[in-house]
Chains A and B, each alone.
Chain A
Amino acid sequence: MATVTAEQVEARVVETLASFGPDADQITRDSTFEELDIDSLDLVELAQVVEDDYGVVLKGEDMKELKTVGDAIDLIVSRAE
């Protein structure tokens, strides 16, 4: 797989989360999933997108630790390397 940049992952994560409900301009690296009203079902959908796009498999125990959008981006980038 070609190298994935953090910027690419961030853009994809923000786009995906925005499709779940929150406004895109409301979503930053520091946003918590709680304040965005993103719940465990949304995160499973995000994980499916991530697996399709980057081949990164995120399991339930991985997702449980994620509090912010930045946490998710960092995890995906680290696994994609």
Chain B
Amino acid sequence: MSAGADSTVPAAAGGGPMKRRVAVTGLGAVTPLGVGAAPLYERWAAGECGILDGAGACTEFEPSELLSVKEVRRLDRFSQLALVAAAEAIGDAGWEAELPYDPFRAGCILATGIGGIQTVEAQLDVQRERGAERMSPLGIPAQMPNAAAAAISMKYGLKGQAFSVTSACSSGAHAIGCALRMIQYGDADAVVVGGSEATLTTFGFGSFNAMQALSPSGISRPFDARRDGFVMGEGAAVLVLEEASAAEARGATVLGEVAGYGSTSDAYHLTAPEPSGEAAMRAIALAMADAGIGPDEIDYINAHGTSTQLNDAAETAAIKRALGEERAHKIPVSSLKSATGHLLGAAGAAEAVATVKTLVTRIIPPTLGYEVPDPECDLDYVPGEARPLVLSNGRPATAISNSFAFGGHNVALVIRGPRP
């Protein structure tokens, strides 16, 4: 751990030179692989794919079985997914009976790329068919991008900072970065953080199809030469983060640590990544510097890996530039999107949850469907099946999780597994 030597990060609140460490104590997810963080990771590691007919839908998610009548009525699907994922994470952290922190020291950041689009569509129908005066008073509170953060904050009495962040496909990772900083700097002692997205509608498919971003084959095969676009998915994922010494003092089971965060922007194109990967490389380098580690301490990379031609090539270039060509070739890289499709604003959070699970179990899930190499994508993408994560010494397993977005927003997180 860096002793505050990194000049890019100010000293922690309270004047101490040390950044406060941030532990992961709870995980939750609702994804195309099922309801729960365990099915997300275990099914992916077993090589199961949650994509059906060209979409990653949460087919096992039944809101009325998991939420009250009032919650179902008042929340857009993106908030419903988030609330169920948050409930699992909060239970996993052992917070169900009682919040173990001063409520004003506990926050919530719940990211979304789009927000409550299903509510917008439904209310637009009402407006056109029955007139503007018949639109629902619940329309705005359901569609607002901060609706999920508000719902979680209210349900669990989190009275610290609560808000949403939005950066398209990097939203979930940006949220985790913000939560990390809030705790590192002493603005909060705990943050419930994640991302959610529910855009599998005619309007959503139409809009992404118009950009020619979606895979015509309906197959998500990141880094494979045959990749032809991303497969849209939906879902939510949530992590409970706590200041590490407080988590340890209350006897929490520490699943890992969010150790570093770096973020940059391409300033290049609205949707295409800058092909050299320079800004993405800098995000990775900043995250490693924030964690106080170098390329030799990275054991695994959870790639953004969308299955688009441009992303997967640019991401490969960025990884090689950030870690060095030689080291990059030795690190296993795999993409969750091969099993779920692209969860957009939830992707970074779902991938962080899967990465924590990978570091806890030390089993690296594969990039499903990867068979035909592309000269532009020449790293080890963990083809075929899961494999053990090999540690070179006694330190905790450490990974990078990448997220890159329309708008050119790049985020890298450094995540550590539990201490051996």
Taking Cβ atoms with an 8 Å cutoff, the residues of A that contact B are 19-21, 37, 41, 44-45, 48
Contacts and interface: CB of A to CB of B under 8 A. Distances in A.
B186 to A, nearest CB: 36
B73 A20 contact: yes
20 contacts: A19-B69, A19-B73, A20-B69, A20-B70, A20-B73, A21-B68, A21-B69, A21-B70, A21-B73, A37-B70, A41-B74, A41-B137, A41-B138, A41-B141, A44-B137, A45-B136, A45-B137, A45-B138, A48-B134, A48-B136
Nearest to B73: A20
Interface string B43-81: 000000000000000000000000011100110000000
A19 B64 CA distance: 13
A55 B4 CA distance: 68
Contacts of B137: 41, 44-45
Nearest to A45: B137
A26 to B, nearest CB: 12
Interface of B: 68-70, 73-74, 134, 136-138, 141
A22 B134 CA distance: 23
Among all A-B residue pairs, the 6 with the closest Cβ atoms: A21-B70, A44-B137, A21-B69, A41-B137, A41-B138, A45-B137
Contacts of A37: 70
Contacts of A19: 69, 73
B67 to A, nearest CB: 11
Contacts of A21: 68-70, 73
The DSSP consensus for interface residues of chain A is: helix
B44 to A, nearest CB: 37
Contacts of A45: 136-138
A19 B73 CA distance: 9
Contacts of A41: 74, 137-138, 141
A21 B134 CA distance: 21
Contacts of B136: 45, 48
B74 to A, nearest CB: 8
B321 to A, nearest CB: 52
Nearest to A43: B137
Nearest to A44: B137
B412 to A, nearest CB: 41
Nearest to B135: A48
A48 B138 CA distance: 12
A51 B269 CA distance: 50
Contacts of A20: 69-70, 73
Contacts of B68: 21
A73 B69 CA distance: 23
Contacts of A44: 137
A45 B136 CA distance: 7
Contacts of B70: 20-21, 37
Given A20-B70, A41-B138, A45-B137, 14 more contacts: A19-B69, A19-B73, A20-B73, A21-B69, A21-B70, A21-B73, A37-B70, A41-B74, A41-B141, A44-B137, A45-B136, A45-B138, A48-B134, A48-B136
B143 to A, nearest CB: 14
A20 B72 CA distance: 10
Nearest to B130: A52
Nearest to B74: A41
A19 to B, nearest CB: 8
A45 B73 CA distance: 12
A9 to B, nearest CB: 20
A15 B136 CA distance: 18
B134 to A, nearest CB: 6
A41 B74 CA distance: 10
Nearest to A18: B69
A19 B137 CA distance: 15
Nearest to B138: A41
A41 B141 CA distance: 10
Nearest to A48: B134
Contacts of B134: 48
Contacts of B73: 19-21
A37 B154 CA distance: 14
A45 B74 CA distance: 12
Nearest to A37: B70
Nearest to B136: A45
Nearest to B70: A21
Nearest to B71: A21
A78 B70 CA distance: 30
Contacts of B69: 19-21
B132 to A, nearest CB: 12
A22 to B, nearest CB: 8
